[in-house]
Amino acid sequence: MTAFLLLLRHELKLSLRQANESTSAVFFFLLAALLFPFGVGPETSVLARIAAGVIWVTALLAALLSLERLFQVDYEDGSLELLAVAPVSMEVIVFAKSIAHWLTTGLPLLVVSPVLALLLQLPASAIGTLALAMLLGTPVLSFLGAIGAALILGSRRGGVLLALLLLPLLVPVLIFGVAAVDAAAMGLDPIPRLGVLGGFLVLALGLSPWVSAVALRQALE
């Protein structure tokens, strides 16, 4: 636990020094979502119907912007090799990096999403469900993204490969995240959809550190 906290603090300090990556993701999230009213028109009913999908899709794409460099910087400057021989397991390293990525990227998206929801005319009754769905779903983006980032480590055109690897895996998260918000907006019970998102989160927490660690060890050999 001490090693994990030290690694997490180190990653957060690095992220603060390179704050342009997280701010770029947030600005992309805002701008991409706000472009939709110009494309589909200002009708309240239309915006309310597509609001959940717009927010989830743009959040997914915004998270992808910074995932390529999750391990790449450490790999290029040799820090990853030093971490690999340190007296701490690679799984703990992956877990700390994934948590740091969520805190610097996923959490800001979560904070901004209710504001976007209001601008896109999402019913107020569904905003709480949106925040809860994002709280469950955005960490899945970070942890599954760690697997993709580890698999493409050292590859050319890594961003394209990362998108091809991750988008099929993240579609179920997108579907149930949108379904939960839509259910709340229609007055239905969103709990079953949120439960599925919670299941995805538990699965990602269990599998991502192990699979990513195996991929990183192979990349370092």
Report pTM. 0.87
Does the structure show a pLDDT above 70 at 64? yes
Contact indicator for 208, 146 with CB cutoff of 8 Å = yes
Instruction: At 1, list the tokens.
Output: 């636990």
- 180-217 pLDDT per residue, tens: 999 998 888 999 999 999 999 999 998 998 998 888 88
Question: At residue 168, what is the residue type?
Answer: P
Cα dihedral sign for 56, 66, 157, 31? positive
Query: Which position has the higher pLDDT, 34 or 85?
Result: 34
User: Any idea which of 12-21, 31-40, 74-83, 164-173 has the lowest mean pLDDT?
Assistant: 12-21
Closest CA to 111 of 95, 125, 130: 130
Determine the Cα–Cα distance for residues 67 and 211; give it in Å rounded to an integer: 16
pLDDT digit string (tens) for 109-145?
Answer: 999 999 889 888 888 889 999 999 999 999 999 999 8
Q: From CA 45, how far away is CA 205, in angstroms rounded?
A: 38
What does the longest C-alpha to C-alpha distance in the chain come to? 58
**Residue with structure tokens 């007296």?**
87
Q: Which residues contact 144 (CB under 8 A, 6 or more apart)?
A: 166, 169, 170, 204, 208
